[in-house]
Structure 1
Amino acid sequence: MGFEPPQRLTRALGATYGEAAAAEWLGKLPALAEDALDRASLTAERVVAPGGRSSLVILAHRSDGTPAALKLAPAFTRPDLERAALAHWNGWGTVQLLQPEDGAALVLERLHPEVSLRSLPDAKALLEAAGVVRKLWVDPPAGHGFESVAERTARQAAAMEAHGAVSSAALDAREELLAGDAESVLLHGCFRQGKVLAGDRVPWLAVGPEPLVGERAYDLARLVRDRVEDLVAASAGASAARRRLNRLADSVDVDRERLRGWTLFRAVESATRWLAAGRRPEAELLLEFAGWL
């Protein structure tokens, strides 16, 4: 079968990592997929579309007929770190890693890619999401290679400085949040409703981590702004956003002010990336949301 990358993957890789790097990997993708399927003894069924923004996922089955999924990602997205995190979680709250081999290809248990928490009413989705993410916050493995929240956000902050007044409050919030000692647990790194898929082993499982270590409030912050377009369109969007933040903080016992600070930083950081990419409407949505906090 052919392994044509979905348009979402092609666009997102180029925008995030550069057109040259994306084109080089995408050009090799058909051969990489064939080789990975052969080495894992998998028979392909179909490519998941529209799929993700940094990887190709192929639904397949193993030689004994067991359903599986093969995930292929370029080395510059660090699939090795995703593998290490999934191995450590060992299916607790996350998709199960089925084969431990090194390399860019991940052989995973088959979930239902068309059914994420975004298919549920928002209040129910947030409740289920909170139940999943709290399972992930465990001690990291000894000798791990994950970066810290301070390290990841330092790179982001350096890029944000070019946007001056747009970023100043968010940068100040980051400085305050990192000023004292904080917990250091394993985090998903990109947790939101779309990253939680329906499964057979348990109802909901997280996928696609960008793992790092740090405090739980950082991990919860991206979830606060889920469905931001609906919040901004609502007549009482500002108060609804603040209520959501408070409910999420209370549901997983996270300090409200720390969650507010990381939500502000992460929303503005995303907005500045959209501005740099020329996507002003998306950026303005996030900046309006950030202004409510």
Structure 2
Amino acid sequence: MAFEPPRRLVRALGETAPDGDGWLERLPELARRAVALRELTVERVQVPGGRSSLVVLVRRADGSPAVLKLAPPRARPESERVALAHWGGRGAVQVLDEADPTEGVLLLERLHPDVSVRSLPEAKALLEAAGTLRRLWVEPPAGHRFETVAERTGRQAEAMRSGAAADPEVAPLVEAALAIREELLVRPPEGVLLHGTFRQSKVLAGDRMPWLAVGPDPVVGESAFDLARLVRDRVEDLIAQPSGAATTRRRIKRLAESLEVDQERLRGWTLFRAVESGVRARRVGREKDAELLLEFAGWL
């Protein structure tokens, strides 16, 4: 079978590595080798798939369904493997094998890839997503090598400063986001293991449990950082509403109370993450996304 990467993946990887790193060219051979090593039968490549990995629906030698996931080193697949193993299926998809962990290949429990929490009505989707996220907030493994929130946002802050220097229009929002980050890092709550890139589309229907998280980019820090990305889910719908700003404030209050997170810290991280995403979207030419995110950030 030809392992053709979906256009969404090619486009997204082009944004993170404009000059390329050879991984896409090696991908067909990497996929064939992974399939042969595990004696898998390929059903199909998942389309549109993710923005950082190739997802292939397969069956194992015993006929049981599974998912083969291949990701480049810059997507930190080994970090994902360690986090999923630590969660052990509690709130997240399970890892099914430990073969060749260094080559960026994961064999995962098969969920229902076309059914995410995002398919539910908004209020129900937020409730189910928040419940799933809560189960992931556990003590990190001893001796872990995950990034901390301070480290990750430190890298992001440097890119944001460069973006503001090149685009004075976003400078006031960037300055506000960077100032809030500094305040939040002075006395952060105790850190837990976080999903890192959580949103409604990262929660899929399963058989073992109704909803399970996929695709973490794990980080260790305060839970408000994780929850902040969920606040802006369906941002295009929020922007389209005349009461979008008020709806956002209510969403922050409701999520903070339901998950016992400090409301002001949640608002602060929501602002930082929205501005960071908006500046990054503008940098790679996704102007529509940038406009939505920066308008949303302006409400905070």
TM-score under structure 2 normalisation? 0.95
**Separation in 2, partners of 1:41, 1:252:** 43
In structure 2, the partner of 1:186 is 193
Show structure 1 runs of 4+ deviating over 3 A.
Answer: none
User: What is the one-letter code of the residue matched to 1:175?
Assistant: E
Instruction: Say if 1:190 and 1:219, in contact at 8 Å, map to a contact too.
Output: yes
SS of 1:20's equivalent? coil
Q: Which residue matches 2:210?
A: 203
Using the alignment, how far apart are the partners of 2:107 and 2:189 within structure 1? 34
- The unaligned stretches of length 5 or more in structure 2 are 165-170
Q: Which residue of 2 aligns with 1:248?
A: 255
Q: Deviation string for 1:112-134 (max 9, x for gaps)?
A: 11001111111000000011000
Q: Match of 1:49?
A: 47
1:17 is displaced (CA, Å) by 2.5
Distance in 1, Cα, partners of 2:211 & 2:110: 12
2:221 paired with 1:214: yes
1:227 aligns to what?
Answer: 234
How do 1:1-293 residues align onto structure 2 when only pairs under 5 Å count?
1-21=1-21, 24-101=22-99, 102-103=101-102, 104-162=104-162, 163=164, 164-293=171-300
CA contact (8 A) 1:87 1:100 kept: no
In 1, the alpha carbon distance for the partners of 2:47 and 2:297 equals 31
- Tell me by how many angstroms 1:251 deviates: 0.8
Q: Is 257-266 or 269-278 further displaced after alignment?
A: 269-278
Identity %: 65
Contact 1:6 1:51 in 2 (8 A): yes
Deviations 1:166-193 (A, max 9, x none): 3011001100000114211000000000
Shift, 1:275, TM fit = 1.4
Question: Counterpart in 1 of 2:168?
Answer: none
> Which stretches in structure 1 are left out of the alignment for 5+ residues?
none
Q: Give the distance between the partners of 1:130 and 1:20, measured in 2 at CA.
A: 36
Alpha-carbon distance in 1 for matches of 2:78, 2:183:
32
Give the Cα separation in 1 of the matches to 2:20 and 2:10: 12
Q: Say if 1:69 and 1:107, in contact at 8 Å, map to a contact too.
A: yes
CA drift at 1:224:
0.2
Q: What SS does the aligned partner of 1:108 have?
A: strand
Whole-angstrom CA distance in 2 between matches of 1:128 and 1:197: 11
Q: Do 1:68 and 1:109's aligned partners in 2 also have CA atoms closer than 8 Å?
A: yes
CA-atom RMSD in angstroms: 0.9
8 Å CA contact retained: 2:188, 2:222 = no
SS at the partner of 1:106? strand
- In structure 2, what is the Cα distance between the partners aligned to 1:176 and 1:251? 24
Q: How far apart are 1:203 and its partner, in Å?
A: 0.6
C-alpha distance in 2 between matches for 1:227 and 1:194: 10
Partners of 2:146 and 2:137 in 1: how far apart?
A: 14
Superposed CA offset, 1:55-93 (max 9, x none) = 001000011101000000011211000000000001000
Q: Please give the secondary structure, in 2, of the residue aligned with 1:246.
A: helix
Which amino acid in structure 2 is aligned with residue 64 of structure 1?
D
What CA distance in whole angstroms lies between the structure 1 residues aligned with 2:63 and 2:10? 31
Cα distance in 2 between the residues matched to 1:84 and 1:33? 21
Moved more, 137-146 or 280-289: 280-289
Q: Secondary structure at the match of 2:20?
A: helix
Residue in 1 aligned with 2:167? none
Q: Which amino acid aligns with 1:42?
A: L
Aligned to 2:68, what secondary structure does the other structure show? strand
Preserved contact between residue 13 and residue 19 of structure 1 (Cα < 8 Å)? no
Partners of 2:294 and 2:141 in 1: CA distance: 36
Q: Match of 1:111, as an amino acid?
A: L
Tell me the secondary structure at the aligned position of residue 167 of structure 1: helix
Q: CA deviation at 1:19?
A: 3.6
Between the two proteins, the alignment pairs up a number of residues equal to: 291
What SS is found at the alignment partner of 1:99? coil
Separation in 2, partners of 1:181, 1:249? 16
Deviation at 1:100, TM superposition (A): 2.0
Pair 181,119 (structure 1): closer, same or farther in 2 beyond 3 Å: closer
